[in-house]
Structure 1
């Protein structure tokens, strides 16, 4: 499982999440405490918003703890909204195109979790994409494909509804192709204005998600695990939640995708 951190509010230096805290994201890359694996060394990435609509992005396949450029960038870049991720690969090779965050237009996305039996589901999932989004796919991960499906289902117009439609589609597809569905999904995504996050799983094992105020109380961060030992300042987001962070603050709502039946004619037959 991966680890990630995201922030929205008054501009902060990226190091406030990435490298400075006692349990920073770089620290979590080799010593995570609330994940299946303590080491998240299969690459990293950051995406940040500034004066342009589209985010800047830096990714590499090195472990986050060994990349001096990451620490230097985090110390110099100041942003009101950014996403940062360290990867523990569950599928897809260790290559730059598979490192989060993924970016398309003004949207950025990062994910912690997995789609069970992804190799059996990948082709019919890709078949749902129009040509533009299909050609935008550069990596091989389930995470990138979930992001592109959400864009296909209307992420730009209705972010949470599009994510619900995406997860509902994948669940229905998995039940049709494999007879069962197992999806774990804790993700953050943004259009450069609001920060969104979802914590959800088909079982009771959704990857962790916490929230806390940051930046003199003028912003909020969302993280896979707390950045320090002040446990009272961190609120755990329940499984089955949708989080929206705007200038007005943090809103947490119930997230429960509707079950979606998949007709036989709607999918490509994949050999067992």
Structure 2
């Protein structure tokens, strides 16, 4: 889940919705697994120059410290993730979000054949960035490839180049469809989201309808009156069953979310030259 908008309590984002991310950690409707209990994490922007992260290997529904801090953290940008491991260890360094400088990164999906691809992918990471890799996941490898290919200056192009590189390495190793991803990444100002898979059958991803439009559709829903006009959600699963509230991100698309910059465009991997 990603939130962008006026500052709001993390508790209102993580616990209050009917089908909140905490509920999804036990009762996912659209994910590969109903239960996502291999750790969790949140990342948010506050007073510091870089975002803060809180991550744990505990299931999200069973971490009392998360409930404590969620009642006190107020933020204009939050990324949250509940983990279902695709093969790498359950340890804090493998929990999302991943952070580098002012950037946060979360990923739902996998790089198929990562065990066979891992060496080639990591050797392509900028040597200046490589020492900052802490865990062993395909998600963190993809993040550092995006950083290597220019995420800071060109987020959409960098992710396209990173995915193109993974696909080329995969094909060379006999893995024809290596990439399955929905990704959200942010520098704290803009939110960038991606829905793509090599087989063009990507996992679910939705963005919220504008709050002003939703208020007009559902004047009886009190929580809509509490949310600011700039509120945007991007989620793997709708947080509430509310007609007109959720729009599916199109297959093979990227989006920019931010003040005056909401835009969806086709996402096409860029193969290495």
TM-score (norm 1): 0.91
Distance of 2:92 and 2:143 partners within structure 1: 17
For residues 85-116 of structure 1, the C-alpha deviation after alignment (integer angstroms, 9 at most, x for no partner) is 10000021000000000000110100001111
- Give the Cα separation in 2 of the matches to 1:231 and 1:87: 28
Match of 2:11 in 1: 15
Contact 1:209 1:224 in 2 (8 A): yes
Indicate the residue corresponding to 2:80 in structure 1: 84
Counterpart in the other structure of 2:89? 93
Distance 1:231 1:75 in 2: 29
What is the 5 A alignment of 1:138-149? Answer: 138-149=134-145
Distance 1:253 1:115, change over 3 A: same
Q: Distance in 2 between matches of 1:86 and 1:253?
A: 27
Cα deviation, 1:30-50, whole Å, max 9, x if unaligned, reads: 001011211000000000001
Q: Whole-Å Cα distance in 2 between the matches of residues 112 and 165 of structure 1?
A: 19
Please report how far the alpha carbon of residue 249 of structure 1 lies from its aligned counterpart in structure 2 after TM superposition. 4.9
1:177 Cα deviation from its structure 2 partner: 1.5
Between 23-32 and 130-139, report the one with greater CA deviation.
Answer: 130-139
Pairing partner for 1:195 from 173, 191, 195: 191
Q: Would you say how many aligned residue pairs link Structure 1 and Structure 2?
A: 257
Q: Indicate how the Cα distance of structure 1 residues 78 and 181 shifts in structure 2: closer, same or farther if over 3 A, else same.
A: same
In structure 2, the residue matched to 1:265 is none
| Cα distance in structure 1, aligned partners of 2:32 and 2:94 | 20
User: Runs of 5+ in structure 2 lacking a partner?
Assistant: 212-226
Please say if residues 13 and 77 of structure 1, whose CA atoms lie closer than 8 Å, have aligned partners that are also in contact: yes
SS in 1 for 2:173: helix
Query: Is the CA contact 2:44–2:52 (under 8 Å) kept in the aligned structure 1?
Result: yes
Matches within 5 A, 1:1-272: 5-212=1-208, 213=210, 215-260=227-272
Normalized against structure 2, the TM-score is what?
0.91
Q: In angstroms, what is the RMSD of aligned CA positions? A: 1.3
| Residues 47-74 of structure 1: CA deviation (Å, up to 9, x unaligned) | 0001222101100000000001111211
